Amino acid sequence: MTDTTIRPVLEAIDVSKHFSVANGIGDAAVVRAVEGVSLRLLPGRIVAVVGESGSGKTTLARLLARFYEPTTGEIRLAGAPVGRTRRARSEKTYRKAVQLIFQDPFGSLNPLHRVRHNLERAIALHHGRMSRQARDERVASLLERVSLVPASDYLDKFPHELSGGQRQRVVIARALAVEPRVLLGDEPISMLDVSIRLEMLNLLDSLRREEGLAILYITHDIASARYLCDDIVVMYAGQMVEAGPKDEVISNPQHPYTKLLVESSPDPHRDVAVDREAIFGDADELGEPPSLIDPPTGCRFHPRCPFAMERCRTTEPPRAVLAEGRWADCWLHEVGRAEELHEAPMTELITRRLSEETR
Amino acid sequence: MTTTALTARNDAARPVGSDTVLDVDGLCVEYAGAGEPVRACTDVTFALRRGEILGIVGESGSGKSTLITALTRLQRPPAVTTAGRVLFHPQDGEEPVDLVRLTPRKLRALRWTSLSIVLQSAMDALNPVMRLGAQFVDALREHDRSMSHTAAWEEARRLLGLVGISADRARSYPHELSGGMRQRATIALALACRPELVVMDEPTTAVDVVMQRQILAQVLRLRREFGFAVVFVTHDLSLLLELADRIAVMYAGRIVELASATDVYRTPMHPYTRGLRDSFPPLHAPVTRLEGIPGSPPDLRALPSGCPFADRCPAVMERCRTELPLLEPHGGRSVACHLHDEGIRP
Ligand SMILES: Nc1ncnc2c1ncn2[C@@H]1O[C@H](COP(=O)(O)OP(=O)(O)O)[C@@H](O)[C@H]1O
Ligand SMILES: Nc1ncnc2c1ncn2[C@@H]1O[C@H](COP(=O)(O)OP(=O)(O)O)[C@@H](O)[C@H]1O
Ligand code: SF4
Ligand SMILES: [Mg+2]
Ligand SMILES: [Mg+2]
């Protein structure tokens, strides 16, 4: 559970990000990509943000990395609000403290330069001028930290000469070069082969343990989030809908969307004797997330929710705080219907509701 | 069913019988070009039963798409099928045909009506400038010229309805639909002419898990209704464990293990299969530290003379370095690994 005596290193307080886009007929429209999100990252802890594509995960990561200015709300680094006026000096301090790792390791390394050069540039940015020997030592130790050993095997390789996993390790080594306090990983393993994803998760875990990094792990894969993180935050249609310690969120979801997401995820360790028809059974009409240009009023999940009540359609649900660091934004808690969440699988509840409506 | 013409070995990987719809034997596919050819599929052998769901799983580059396109003759140069055959057994008891050697004209006649294919990106299968319904009408009428235009539209709407796309969407263009809906439309289109076999290459890789579950539920329901067999290719073993009847595991262009989904999960025989199974953390069971499979697959241009997995194998032995293990039957399943040769037990 979140220890309140540890100060958060990075915080988002009620941040929103709206994008202006041209819609189909040439008029301006607003995409409400992230709305009202608050998040705290603590040293030595890993928070996972899970959600389907389009739920606002990447936008949130970019807000936290200050690639985007929030439309409203505030980002705080070590308790200090990060100013809207962009001064070069504070920008640089921020970049050193907070590093973002992208999904595609290719896109983030300079393909024309060898591993050595890619790392040296990052080191120079942080340390300024260094002796040749000190720099060589630093490069070698960075490669060792990401288990690319012996370093001499990798120093003179170009990015395209490395495997996907090795490339992502170089990306992480480069992020570490500036000695950050926060790593933001935006689906850092989703482009890697299945067989090497765990190595990368184990590496992130050791960085948190051994160096006390605060890590945000963004993923659409709940099982990998559970493997790596302490706490899980679930996003739906640009908003956070539920958060808490990972096992509580996964085994005892308190928001209908979380429950749908968990039940839809493959579980390799599900008892394989379970009937296939039972697993996939009624999962025929589960709906899709809404457009963020004109999101549903009230609860954004209401058009798909088998529990939806009149107030869900009109009024945003209040946050039900269930324990320290454990909450869900859903009306069921307010009206005392939360136990109904556990009556049946979501697919069955949705099918039941649909057949009632058509009757 | 005539299978007497077959003289090849009839082993556990290929239990050819009257319920066999596809019988693949010794299929080899190479990418020819400058320099050494890339041996993307080598000696691939398996049989598919009517109505069965066979999963094919492997890392990227293991040859899954190459295999699928060779099976369905959709491959393009520089891919060349250098050996083997793919016997398709039509339901009506006609003589089996070898898809590898079929003339393009006969092949066209089989496509859609006997076998069809669904790819990862629905955009590859749908015509972007044609209304959805019209594409169904074309496909339906091409294979049944007696069908009236009105009847074809009617059937198009019915097929779309089967995958949860409302009738009024039949007039939409593909780009007006969500990615998940397009993929469902592609599946409905693949089933329009009631094929006996549907081959799917990563059909749900581009969609989210909720949509994935929805699509697979529909595939299963349609399979119950129409009775087609499925070859389902994916890199996601956790999904196949839930979906497939049997699973073929590919590594460096070869099938290294072929067994029921339950056996793959409970008693994987090949160290690669075991490593792959242990690369998926559990969603509910207690979390233990997992290591995946360190290393990467060999270069297909310079395959080792022994087992292609030897460099990454935690159980590697002397002979693995020199002697290639072949896919051999082991009580109803098959595995290509020296650990399971007579007399040696892990
Ligand atoms: N630069 C942008 N301009 C306009 N819309 C954007 C931009 N970036 C993201 N969006 C939109 O914001 C929403 C959230 O996107 P994103 O943060 O990428 O979600 P995720 O990472 O969860 O898939 C989507 O609807 C997406 O189309
Ligand atoms: N057009 C091509 N030319 C040369 N090599 C190819 C071509 N397409 C695929 N390959 C090679 O064939 C191997 C198998 O590829 P593929 O069948 O796409 O694997 P998978 O679908 O399992 O990811 C890979 O090593 C790939 O590099
Ligand atoms: S607030 Fe209402 S619509 Fe939203 S998840 Fe809860 S019950 Fe469903
Ligand atoms: Mg994203
Ligand atoms: Mg492929």
Asked whether B149 and B141 are in contact (CB, 8 A), the reply is: yes
For residue A331, pLDDT beyond 90: yes
- What mean pLDDT is reported for chain B? 89
For residue B8, pLDDT beyond 70: no
Question: Which residues make Cβ contacts (< 8 Å) with residue A32, sequence separation at least 6?
Answer: A16, A18, A238, A292, A293, A295
Residue with tokens 């019915």: B158
Task: Check whether residue B107 and residue B205 sit in a common domain.
Answer: yes
pLDDT of residue B94: 83
Task: Check whether residue A67 and residue A122 sit in a common domain.
Answer: yes
Task: Check whether residue B147 and residue B164 sit in a common domain.
Answer: yes
Query: Is A286 within 8 Å of B214 when comparing Cβ atoms?
Result: yes
For residue B322, pLDDT beyond 60: yes
Confidence class for position B151, pLDDT limits 50, 70, 90: very high
How many Cβ contacts (< 8 angstroms) between chains A and B?
Answer: 139
Q: Give the nearest ligand 1 atom to A220 CA.
A: 22
Spatial distance between the Cα atoms of B341 and B58, rounded to a whole number of angstroms = 23
Query: Is A279 within 8 Å of B266 when comparing Cβ atoms?
Result: no
> What b/e readout covers A111-128, taking b as 16+ CB neighbours within 10 angstroms?
eeebbbebbbebbeebee
For residue A2, pLDDT beyond 70: no
Give percent above pLDDT 90 in chain A. 70
Question: Which residue in A169, A193, A230 has the most chain B C-beta atoms within 10 A of its own C-beta, making it the best mutation to test that interface?
Answer: A193
Task: Check whether residue A196 and residue A72 sit in a common domain.
Answer: yes
Query: Does some domain include residue B281?
Result: yes
ipTM, two decimals, is 0.91
Query: Does some domain include residue B326?
Result: no
Confidence class for position A271, pLDDT limits 50, 70, 90: low
A 91-130 → B contacts, CB under 8 A: none
Asked whether A242 and A254 are in contact (CB, 8 A), the reply is: yes
pLDDT of residue B16: 61
Spatial distance between the Cα atoms of A79 and A7, rounded to a whole number of angstroms = 8
Confidence class for position B346, pLDDT limits 50, 70, 90: very low
How would DSSP label each residue in B43-60? EEEEEEETT-EEEEE--T
Calculate how far, in angstroms, residue A18's C-alpha sits from the geometric centre of ligand 1: 10
Task: Check whether residue B257 and residue B204 sit in a common domain.
Answer: yes
Give percent above pLDDT 70 in chain B. 93
Ligand 2 within 6 A of B184 CB? no
**The two three-digit tokens of residue A192, written as one number:** 């890697």
A25 interfaces chain B, CB cutoff of 8 Å? no
**The two three-digit tokens of residue B148, written as one number:** 């009236």
Task: Check whether residue B283 and residue B230 sit in a common domain.
Answer: yes
For residue B344, pLDDT beyond 90: no
Task: Check whether residue B72 and residue B25 sit in a common domain.
Answer: yes
Task: Check whether residue A119 and residue A194 sit in a common domain.
Answer: yes
Query: Does some domain include residue B299?
Result: no
Confidence class for position B4, pLDDT limits 50, 70, 90: very low
Task: Check whether residue A56 and residue A85 sit in a common domain.
Answer: yes
Asked whether A265 and A279 are in contact (CB, 8 A), the reply is: no
Domain that holds residue A327: 252-357
Q: Chain B residues with CB inside 8 Å of A276's CB? A: 220, 242-243
Task: Check whether residue B189 and residue B209 sit in a common domain.
Answer: no
Confidence class for position A355, pLDDT limits 50, 70, 90: confident
Task: Check whether residue A25 and residue A161 sit in a common domain.
Answer: yes
Confidence class for position B5, pLDDT limits 50, 70, 90: very low
Task: Check whether residue B103 and residue B138 sit in a common domain.
Answer: no
Asked if omega into A150 is within 30° of 0 (cis), the reply is yes
B219/chain A closest Cα distance in angstroms: 10
Task: Check whether residue B165 and residue B233 sit in a common domain.
Answer: no
A267/chain B closest Cα distance in angstroms: 5
Query: Is B275 within 8 Å of A195 when comparing Cβ atoms?
Result: yes
Element spanning B151, H or E = helix B149-162
Residue A80 is part of a domain; what is its CATH number? Answer: 3.40.50.300
Of A113-117, B73-77, B274-278, which gets the smallest average pLDDT? B73-77
Task: Check whether residue B242 and residue B279 sit in a common domain.
Answer: yes
Task: Check whether residue A177 and residue A265 sit in a common domain.
Answer: no
Task: Check whether residue A270 and residue A353 sit in a common domain.
Answer: yes
For residue B246, pLDDT beyond 90: yes
Query: Does some domain include residue B119?
Result: no
Tell which of B252, B269, B291 closes a domain. Answer: B291
For residue B90, pLDDT beyond 60: yes
Task: Check whether residue A225 and residue A265 sit in a common domain.
Answer: no
Task: Check whether residue A274 and residue A139 sit in a common domain.
Answer: no
Count of structural domains within chain A: 2
Ligand nearest to the CA of A292: 1
pLDDT of residue A44: 96
Give me the mean pLDDT over the B28-38 stretch: 90
pLDDT tens across B196-212, in order? 999 999 999 889 999 99
Query: Is B210 within 8 Å of A264 when comparing Cβ atoms?
Result: yes
Of A12-26, A265-279, B149-163, which gets the smallest average pLDDT? A265-279
Tell which of B141, B161, B194 closes a domain. Answer: B194
**The two three-digit tokens of residue B173, written as one number:** 């263009």
For residue A160, pLDDT beyond 80: yes
Spatial distance between the Cα atoms of B177 and B199, rounded to a whole number of angstroms = 23
Residues around ion ligand 5, judged by CB within 5 A, are: B 64-65
Domain that holds residue B280: 20-114+198-291
Task: Check whether residue B153 and residue B245 sit in a common domain.
Answer: no
By C-alpha distance, the chain B residue nearest A266 is B239
Give me the mean pLDDT over the A79-99 stretch: 82
Query: Is A270 within 8 Å of B283 when comparing Cβ atoms?
Result: yes
- Given ligand 1 and candidates A16, A17, A19, which is best to mutate, with the most ligand atoms within 8 Å of its CB? A19
**Helix (H/G/I), strand (E/B), else coil: B62:** coil
By C-alpha distance, the chain B residue nearest A286 is B214
pLDDT of residue B172: 92
Question: Which residues make Cβ contacts (< 8 Å) with residue A18, sequence separation at least 6?
Answer: A30, A31, A32, A33, A71
Element spanning A205, H or E = helix A194-211
- Given ligand 2 and candidates B38, B42, B60, B255, which is best to mutate, with the most ligand atoms within 8 Å of its CB? B38
- Integer CA distances (angstroms), A229 to A99, A194, A206, B337, in order: 18, 19, 12, 36
Query: Does some domain include residue A41?
Result: yes
pLDDT of residue A189: 92
Query: Does some domain include residue A246?
Result: no
For residue A280, pLDDT beyond 90: no
Q: Chain B residues with CB inside 8 Å of A220's CB? A: 208-209
- Given ligand 2 and candidates B28, B41, B57, B65, which is best to mutate, with the most ligand atoms within 8 Å of its CB? B65
pLDDT of residue B168: 87
Task: Check whether residue B105 and residue B202 sit in a common domain.
Answer: yes
| Backbone φ/ψ region at B211: left (φ over 0), alpha (ψ -120 to 50), beta | alpha
Spatial distance between the Cα atoms of B222 and B219, rounded to a whole number of angstroms = 5
Query: Is B241 within 8 Å of A272 when comparing Cβ atoms?
Result: yes
**CA-based end-to-end distance of chain A:** 46
Tell which of B151, B170, B194 closes a domain. Answer: B194
pLDDT of residue B6: 37
Confidence class for position B93, pLDDT limits 50, 70, 90: confident
Query: Is A272 within 8 Å of B277 when comparing Cβ atoms?
Result: no
Of A55-59, A266-270, B54-58, B165-169, which gets the smallest average pLDDT? A266-270
Ligand 3 within 6 A of A317 CB? yes
Q: Residue A96: name the closest of A181, A7, A217, A10 by CA.
A: A181
Task: Check whether residue B176 and residue B205 sit in a common domain.
Answer: no
Residues listed for chain B? 346
CA atoms within 13 A on the CB side of B116: 19
Task: Check whether residue A96 and residue A221 sit in a common domain.
Answer: yes
**The two three-digit tokens of residue A317, written as one number:** 């649900």
Asked whether B195 and B153 are in contact (CB, 8 A), the reply is: no
Question: Which residue in A269, A286, A292 has the most chain B C-beta atoms within 10 A of its own C-beta, making it the best mutation to test that interface?
Answer: A269
Q: Strands B333-335, B328-330: parallel, antiparallel or unpaired by DSSP?
A: antiparallel
Query: Does some domain include residue A320?
Result: yes
Higher pLDDT, B344 or B208: B208
Query: Is B164 within 8 Å of A284 when comparing Cβ atoms?
Result: yes
Query: Does some domain include residue A26?
Result: yes
| Backbone φ/ψ region at A336: left (φ over 0), alpha (ψ -120 to 50), beta | left
Q: Residue B260: name the closest of B8, B49, B16, B17 by CA.
A: B49
- What mean pLDDT is reported for chain A? 91
Confidence class for position A336, pLDDT limits 50, 70, 90: very high
Element spanning A329, H or E = strand A326-329
Q: Residue B55: name the closest of B222, B199, B185, B180 by CA.
A: B199
Give me the mean pLDDT over the A21-33 stretch: 84
Spatial distance between the Cα atoms of A175 and A95, rounded to a whole number of angstroms = 10
For residue B338, pLDDT beyond 70: yes
Query: Does some domain include residue B162?
Result: yes
Task: Check whether residue A82 and residue A216 sit in a common domain.
Answer: yes
Task: Check whether residue A25 and residue A169 sit in a common domain.
Answer: yes
Query: Does some domain include residue A3?
Result: no
Residue B283 is part of a domain; what is its CATH number? Answer: 3.40.50.300
Count of structural domains within chain B: 2
Say what the pTM is.
0.92
pLDDT of residue B122: 65
- Given ligand 2 and candidates B29, B39, B62, which is best to mutate, with the most ligand atoms within 8 Å of its CB? B62
Query: Does some domain include residue B92?
Result: yes
B267 interfaces chain A, CB cutoff of 8 Å? no
By C-alpha distance, the chain A residue nearest B181 is A288
Question: Which residue in B162, B220, B256, B283 has the most chain A C-beta atoms within 10 A of its own C-beta, making it the best mutation to test that interface?
Answer: B283
Query: Does some domain include residue B306?
Result: no
How would DSSP label each residue in A144-203? HHTT--SGGGTTT--GGGS-HHHHHHHHHHHHHTT--SEEEEESTTTTS-HHHHHHHHHH
Q: What is the CA radius of gyration of chain B?
A: 21
Q: Give the nearest ligand 3 atom to A308 CA.
A: 3
Query: Does some domain include residue B95?
Result: yes
Confidence class for position A86, pLDDT limits 50, 70, 90: low
pLDDT of residue A206: 94
The values of phi and psi at residue A18, to 5°, are: -110, 135
The values of phi and psi at residue A63, to 5°, are: -65, -45
